């Protein structure tokens, strides 16, 4: 069964379909969406090995003309150099404005292929087929596309919405358990920022979530996508409440950057970042110690790290100061008020805020 969530953005509105057996019916879905006939499928060797053939065959049997292009697997390849190889492939194969692109993979592929779609010939249509839990609950929705710079995460990018997001939960069966946990970190984020009842439901369903129970996963994915879709519909370009989605990310991005891209999974870094944010919130009396303990406990139970790696405070500060969220030297942190609500908090003295936590 297919369940649909709509991202309402006027003429850039689109549908997120969640269910099973979606990949095998991809061609039919794209016909319904009037997607261009000539398509580049951007993936990596690991994902292509599992799902490339099913995607390709479904497109061929529906009369599309697909070509595959794989980039190396890993966060360290989410770079301008890899992006250039995608442009090379598109140009060498005479892709024009009447063509489309499919991002088949996790958040790395989705962000990078999305940015290629945003910029190639000033923009061609693309579809997200997220294959990790993290990309299904977060990165494939909302149109943030980017590549990393050696000095910071996602520093080069664009807001560019897909035509369609197709979430097939069957693909989660081949995912490494560490990747499932990383995706669940972003699911927990939605509970903390927006929905205390959902947070409680997650606490009650840790075992089923880690065990990839299909019904439990579908509920968690739908709920996450709905919360994100509602936020993006109000604030597409992060002028206001979309910043709430960055809960745990400022510190998380610093961990990813300092440890060298690819060492920490994005979701793992966000897990630690959320605990750090919750501790700062408690220090400012925005939440109780019990809230911090609940957040720490669920993340641990989901197999996630909760302690920061051992970098010097100064290194963390320098890295956080390069964050996209820094404006005129001020860092805006997302802090939790209890569980289920967050606020934006402007920090002038970053050092003093973090020194008592780290």
**Binding residues vs ligand GLY (CB under 6 A):** 138, 142, 144, 242, 245-246
Q: Are 316 and 285 in contact (CB under 8 A)?
A: no
Smaller CB separation from ligand GLY, 222 or 242? 242
Pairing of strands 3-7, 14-19: antiparallel
The correct pick among 29, 58, 82, 131 for binding ligand NAD (CB under 6 A) is: 131
Count CB-CB contacts under 10 A for residue 95. 21
d(CA 334, CA 327): 14
Residue of 163, 179, 186, 236 marked catalytic: 186
Smaller CB separation from ligand NAD, 131 or 216? 131
Smaller CB separation from ligand NAD, 182 or 299? 182
**Residue 345 annotated as catalytic:** no
Asked if 136 is part of the footprint of ligand NAD (rule: CB under 6 A), the reply reads no
Residue 26 tokens, joined = 């991809």
Smaller CB separation from ligand GLY, 26 or 188? 188
d(CA 235, CA 170): 31
Question: In the bound complex, which residue of the shown chain has the CB atom lying closest to ligand NAD?
Answer: 107
Residue of 219, 249, 265, 294 marked catalytic: 249
Residue 294 tokens, joined = 């609940």
The correct pick among 135, 216, 246, 257 for binding ligand NAD (CB under 6 A) is: 135
Which residue, among 345, 320, 48, has the nearest Cα to 174 in the 3D structure?
48
Min separation Cβ 291 and ligand NAD, Å: 24
d(CA 93, CA 18): 32
Q: Are 102 and 41 in contact (CB under 8 A)?
A: yes
d(CA 308, CA 352): 17
Q: Which does 44 bind (CB under 5 to 8 A by kind): ligand GLY, ligand NAD, none?
A: ligand NAD
Q: Which does 292 bind (CB under 5 to 8 A by kind): ligand NAD, ligand GLY, none?
A: none
Number of separate helices (H) and strands (E) present in the chain:
15, 12
* Residues 261-300 close enough to bind ligand NAD by CB under 6 A: 265-267
Distances (CA, A) of 123 to 47, 69, 100, 115, 162: 25, 18, 10, 9, 11
The correct pick among 58, 79, 119, 132 for binding ligand NAD (CB under 6 A) is: 132
What H or E segment, with its residue span, contains residue 297?
Answer: helix 289-301
Buried b (16+ CB within 10 A) or exposed e, 102-112: bbbbbbbbbbb
Residue of 44, 148, 246, 336 marked catalytic: 246
Min separation Cβ 288 and ligand NAD, Å: 28
**Residue 253 annotated as catalytic:** yes
The correct pick among 174, 240, 321, 351 for binding ligand NAD (CB under 6 A) is: 174
Residue of 78, 144, 153, 223 marked catalytic: 144
**Residue 228 annotated as catalytic:** yes
Residues of this chain that interact with ligand NAD (CB under 6 A) are 44, 46-47, 50, 73, 75, 78, 105-109, 111, 131-132, 134-135, 138-139, 142, 144, 153-154, 171, 174-175, 179, 182, 265-267
- List, by residue number, the catalytic residues: 122, 144, 186, 228, 238, 242, 246, 249, 253, 266
């Amino acid at each position: 069964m297919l369940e649909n969530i709509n991202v309402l953005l006027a003429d850039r509105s689109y549908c997120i379909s969640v269910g099973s057996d979606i990949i095998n019916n991809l061609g039919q879905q794209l016909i319904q969406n009037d997607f261009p006939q000539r398509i580049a499928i951007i993936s990596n060797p690991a994902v292509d090995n599992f799902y490339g053939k099913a995607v390709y065959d479904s497109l061929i049997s529906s009369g599309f003309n697909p070509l595959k292009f794989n980039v190396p697997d890993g966060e360290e390849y989410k770079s301008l150099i890899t992006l250039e190889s995608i442009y090379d492939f598109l140009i060498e194969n005479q892709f024009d404005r009447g063509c489309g692109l499919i991002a088949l993979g996790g958040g790395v592929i989705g962000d990078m292929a999305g940015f290629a779609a945003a910029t190639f010939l000033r923009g061609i249509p693309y579809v997200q087929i997220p294959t990790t839990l993290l990309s299904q609950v977060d990165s494939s929705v909302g149109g943030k596309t980017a590549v990393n710079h050696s000095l910071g995460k996602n520093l080069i990018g664009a807001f560019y919405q897909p035509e369609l997001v197709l979430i097939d939960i069957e693909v989660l069966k081949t995912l490494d358990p560490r990747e499932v946990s990383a995706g669940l970190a972003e699911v927990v984020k939605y509970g903390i920022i927006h929905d205390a009842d959902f947070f409680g439901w997650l606490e009650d369903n840790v075992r089923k979530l880690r065990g990839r129970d299909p019904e439990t996963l579908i509920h968690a994915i739908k709920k996450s996508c709905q919360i994100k879709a509602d936020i993006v519909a109000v604030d597409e370009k992060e002028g206001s409440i979309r910043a709430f989605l960055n809960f745990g990310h400022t510190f998380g991005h610093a961990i990813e950057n300092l440890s060298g891209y690819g060492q920490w999974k994005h979701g793992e870094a966000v897990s630690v970042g959320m605990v750090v944010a919750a501790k700062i919130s408690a220090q400012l009396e925005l939440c109780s110690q019990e809230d911090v303990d609940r957040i720490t406990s669920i993340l641990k139970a989901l197999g996630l790290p909760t302690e920061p790696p051992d970098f010097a405070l100064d290194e963390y500060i320098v890295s956080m100061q390069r964050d996209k969220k820094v404006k005129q030297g001020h860092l805006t942190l997302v802090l939790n008020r209890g569980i289920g609500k967050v606020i934006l908090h402007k920090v002038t003295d970053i050092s003093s805020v973090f020194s008592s936590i780290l």
